[in-house]
Each structure stands twice: as C-alpha cells, then as structure tokens.
Amino acid sequence: MTTFNTYVYLQKKMQDTIEYDVIDIEQYEDLCTSIKDLRTQLKNNVTKLKEYQQSVYEHMDAEGVDTIDIGAYTFAKASKMRCKWNKKALLKFAEGVDTGTFEESISQYERECSEPQTIYSGKKRKTC
C-alpha cells in the first residue's frame, strides 16, 4: 500500500479500466477525532442523566409515590416477585425437598426462592 503525506490513492478495478479514488487523510483523521470527542461527550451526558434519574427514584421512595410526572416524562415504580431459576439454586432446593408431585415441588420452590424486586422506569409521554 502506498501512502502519501496528505492523500491516499485507492485503486478500483472496474471491468477493464482502472479508476482511482482519492481520500484526504487529514479530513479522515479530523472526522475520527470529532467522533471520539462526541462519544466522550455522550458518555458524560449519559452519566449525568443517570444521576438525575436516580435522584427522581430516591424522591419517589422517600415520598412513597409509585408514579410521578416530570416535564414530558413519566417515572414509575413497580414491585414484582423474582424467582431465580438456576442450577445452583435448584440443586440446593432438591436436597431438602419433600416428596410430592412435581407441581407441588415447583410451587414450594417458587415460595422459598422468590424475592421482591423493585423496577423503575422512565418514559417520555406521547403527545397528541
């Protein structure tokens, strides 16, 4: 590959003729740098956004509110029971399981291995 200080010539073979495309290296590097800067800026903005969201969630917990509207966004909190279905938990449960039907065993496992989980969400409200 042949490179020059400012330009790179890329060879394209089209049928029986050869054409050359010229790429400006400085412009390419400037675009790469610009994209890198924008990604860094985006990462910082996402971090700030997560901090704002966390403060809204903390306020919801402190006030005992399940839904709150802030500007064009609606934040909600829901509680669900979460049951772990993994090999380690199943083997531990199987050691102390009472004999019974399969359905009874599954129900017992769900009662013993379920734990409450709070799920937060924030969505932009649809406008008419």
55 and 26 in one domain? yes
Distance CA 95, CA 32 (A): 58
Claim to verify: residue 74 and residue 127 sit in the same structural domain: yes
- Judge if 127 and 84 occupy the same domain: yes
Q: Taking a C-beta distance cutoff of 8 angstroms, is the pair 87, 76 a contact?
A: no
Which pLDDT does position 1 carry in this prediction?
Answer: 47
**End-to-end alpha-carbon separation of the chain, Å?**
57
Residues of the chain with pLDDT under 70: 1-22, 93, 96-102, 128
What pLDDT, on the 0 to 100 scale, is given for residue 13? 52
Q: How far is CA 12 from CA 8, 17, 23, 24, in A?
A: 13, 9, 13, 17
Last residue of a domain, one of 24, 47, 65: 65
- What is the rounded CA–CA span in Å between residue 56 and residue 52? 6
Which of 114, 108, 117 minimizes the C-alpha distance to 78? 117
22, with CB counted inside 10 A (0-12, 13-18, 19+), is exposed
8 A C-beta contact, residue 90 and residue 109: yes
CA 122 from chain centre, in angstroms, equals 14
Mark whether 50 and 72 lie in a shared domain: no
pLDDT given at position 75 = 92
pLDDT for residue 6: 54
Residues 90 and 123 in one domain: yes
Model confidence, pTM: 0.57
What is the span of the domain harbouring residue 43?
1-65
